[in-house]
Amino acid sequence: MAVTRIETDARGVANLTLARPEKHNAMDAAMIAELAAAAERLGADPAVRVVVLRADGRTFCAGGDLGWMQDQMAADRATRMAEATKLAAMLGVLDRLPKPLIGAVSGNAFGGGVGMISVCDVAVAVDSAKFALTETKLGIIPATIGPYVVARMGGARARQVFMSGRMFGAEEAVRLGLIARAVPQDAFEDAVEAEITPYLACAPGAVADAKRLVARLSAPADAEQVAMSIEALADRWETEEAKAGIAAFFAKERAPWA
């Protein structure tokens, strides 16, 4: 069963939707693979002018799927690195998508969900949405998403939320640069449409070239950073803290340090 969905309208606006609402759109191996394939397909389709990243249900993306995380806990280092590499590759292809990528954040985003927002060119959220990079509470780190989160927020702002695991609201997410606007639920679709509409008056090739230029002029995540983040995550998975934190999470107990 597909866990993502693509719907493209007559204007060339493609909605790429996370479709696991019963799992709070948590990412597993299937979703990671589908998102990577979808990004490649949409990027190569000349009929697509704009891509909107959406989610079914009340949660935008809860991060890593629990079953996927359990598999990582039981796996060896090489397997963990391979799975982290797949996640990094998916984020990378979305980040380099040669079309405008607009995040329509209709609910909470945690962990990898914050990473997904960070690869969007612009994101609009409902003002009730909550965000958090919760990995350190589990004894792990937001490593694979790290290059994209830090590129989005900047180092100084990222430090405010990257290590503490604390939850923050949409207003703070705007201040951090994670999202562009936070609006009430009844104004959400209009706000998303306001981000889409200007691109439809622009030359698609010029938009793609301008996006590539921004990437070259700024400090995008490069291959060395991605490889370093994967190694850092693999190292962290092997610590006693990670083992204790993940085990406590699944047992619904407090971690030893909490």
Short-list 180, 207, 192, 189, CA closest to 48: 207
Q: Sorting pLDDT into bands at 50, 70 and 90, what band is 70? A: confident
In the prediction, which pLDDT does 162 show?
A: 98
- Interatomic CA distance for residues 9 and 200, integer angstroms: 12
Q: What is the dihedral of CA 51, 53, 171, 258, to 10 degrees?
A: -150
Task: For residue range 46-62, list pLDDT tens digits in order.
Answer: 999 999 999 999 999 99
- Interatomic CA distance for residues 181 and 174, integer angstroms: 6
* 66 pLDDT more than 90: no
Number of other residues whose CB lies within 10 A of the CB of residue 193: 14
Q: Are strands 101-105 and 50-55 parallel, antiparallel or unpaired?
A: parallel
* 124 pLDDT more than 90: yes
3-state class of 74 per DSSP? helix
- Give the fold, CATH level 3, of 4-184: 2-enoyl-CoA Hydratase; Chain A, domain 1 (3.90.226)
Q: Kindly report which listed range (8-12, 88-92, 206-210, 247-251) carries the lowest average pLDDT score.
A: 247-251
